[in-house]
Chains A and B, each alone.
Chain A
């Protein structure tokens, strides 16, 4: 069974792409055949993997799915880790969904073709709260939300939860974790304590704010590949372990993971 996880946030600059790239790398180290789908027209994940941001099938081909989309898959430099690159044209994805019947389930249908091939599919999502977000919510088994422990971030997380409740999406599959944490800041510590108290489903693992993670733009590698054993690599390792625990806890998913 393929597990589909989306790294999603309705707030920008929270570390979604770094999380998607590093978790995908951790999954392959654990022996899982993994596909990263870069849904963000900014193509940051594509850039991190040193792949050209080009989808030969275009947005239309992307939405239609099938063999055409399969041809766009690129092998990364890492064993068992593939990438469906992004393209600037994906900025039109949201309007393109409306051309199909049941537009909110189109993404799920598009990616069906990869289910036999991969153990894990990770979406690197753009900042969105419209039809693409609904497609992501429908297609994913898990929604991982990076949260910077700040007031604005808490606000957007609350917005996401109320959006889900209002539109009958299962909030049980939403798992947040703290990102870009600076433990020296009093506000970060207080916000984290408050959120752990008030919200269910927050993973007890956080990614610190580290220059090693920022260097990913220069190294163009997951941190565990460029600096194995570093604090950043260990933080993602820990996050991966917590993510696995959540998968195990879900009886509907593969217990062999």
Chain B
């Protein structure tokens, strides 16, 4: 078995002192130092870190390993720095990461500069019996940059276990300490000012049952405001479509919180910001729509018969051109005075401490001082019952408009459950959210198809206005609309089954058990 051990150096020990410490026992042959530069990549929302992956480049090779592990899972040759998974060369690495990265862009987090010097430990025949590698790692190549880490690797040579054991003993006596399991990744991130896992598009808000409702709501809104600001800063860089998506989701969640966590703030404040955030949301509607169509390019093409696939190309060319114009307009709008004022006022409101008046002294309608657990249960339960009622009606009359309304109601309930998930037993609420998600997916798919159909109908006029002469593109769009309509009917037919599952007695009971009204202030 081959041994590979990492040692910390004694204080102030350098390479020469290392050689001196062993020169009495061994002949040592030193090689020329080898330099290498590694660049570590991850997405904005740390998708790789969350799965314990480390993706890095070394020269023209891309490597994937697990945190705390040195062995490479996969590697592949690259010609350009990695950005999107679809640009990766076909390889095992690409297959391994495609479901993790999806449409997110990779960002270079930091560079690591290695300087490794191999020392061969020789026996009387001048045969190498072990190797010691003196390794210095820094974030930049300049010698003035302080080292991130300096360590000594001992690598045994097959067939010389006794010599290796003796060498370990001698190193320990000389003050070299074997290192515990660690990964340079964390040190590098810390030095580069990065906080792995600091951003997630999922909500992770910790609330306490007895917290005043206004304070709890502000905690939620502050979290969403941070998400908005983090994504807003990257919108101009146009990293990937998910930056805008997460920005918009944070806005939508903010609007939903203002609307659904009722009567916790003064009416005029709630009314004002609901209106303001509706305006902010609209600023990027067009850009998001274009992103969605462009993301669906491959899907749309596979829906079409093969002989029409190339003919749809002018449509996507047009969408791509429109997107770059709309992106500039959106960035411009997000730099407007009105937007800046809204965000400034919103931040001031969130920073303003809540008035801790006793519940009795507030107006009868106000929920500000009510323990958040009570309000959370009440709101979630009410919204759930509304969905059951509306959904039950739709079973007899599945009109597109009513399905759309039900989809919005489901989304509001989902947001409420996610805002307050820390107040309820984790497993139970996760199960209920997942049940709701199945229903939401059905309604969401249906809505997407409705919107896409309408958009494609409108785009025909727009394309005509641009002087598009190739008639085949219109045939392809027509064919696409037909295919979408068929898919829409299939999804519509699935609604009854999906809703019946959601409204099953078991699910209803689980909802009642968790959220049905209990006395104010009761803990779960």
Contact = CB atoms under 8 A, between A and B. Distances in A.
Interface of A: 49-52, 72-75, 77, 82, 220
B70 to A, nearest CB: 16
B157 interface: yes
Interface stretch (B14-22, B122-130, B255-263, B397-405): B122-130
B25 interface: no
Contacts of A73: 158-159
A220 B122 CA distance: 14
A74 B161 CA distance: 10
B127 to A, nearest CB: 4
A49 B158 contact: no
Nearest to B127: A50
Contacts of B316: none
Residue in B2, B126, B127 whose Cβ sees the most chain A Cβ within 10 Å: B127
Contacts of B127: 49-51, 77
B155 to A, nearest CB: 10
B125 A74 contact: no
A73 B126 CA distance: 18
B125 A77 contact: no
A127 B158 CA distance: 29
Interface residues of B, number: 10
7 contacts: A50-B126, A50-B127, A75-B2, A75-B157, A77-B128, A220-B125, A220-B126
Contacts of A74: 157-160
B120 interface: yes
A82 B158 contact: yes
A51 B125 CA distance: 8
Contacts, number: 27
Nearest to A72: B159
A77 B31 CA distance: 13
A49 B158 CA distance: 13
Nearest to A71: B159
A118 to B, nearest CB: 12
Contacts of B159: 51, 72-75
B375 to A, nearest CB: 64
A77 B158 contact: no
Residue in B125, B126, B128, B159 whose Cβ sees the most chain A Cβ within 10 Å: B159
B92 to A, nearest CB: 14
Contacts of B157: 74-75
Interface string B111-150: 0000000001000011110000000000000000000000
Contacts of A75: 2, 128, 157-160
B158 A52 contact: no
Nearest to A47: B125
A75 B159 CA distance: 6
A74 B163 CA distance: 13
Task: Pick the 10 closest A-B CB pairs, nearest first.
Answer: A74-B159, A75-B158, A50-B127, A75-B157, A50-B125, A77-B128, A73-B158, A75-B159, A73-B159, A82-B158
Nearest to B129: A75
A52 B127 CA distance: 10
A73 B1 CA distance: 11
A82 B125 CA distance: 17
B93 to A, nearest CB: 18
A51 B163 CA distance: 14
A57 to B, nearest CB: 13
A183 B158 CA distance: 42
Contacts of B120: 77
Contacts of B125: 50-52, 220
A52 B159 CA distance: 11
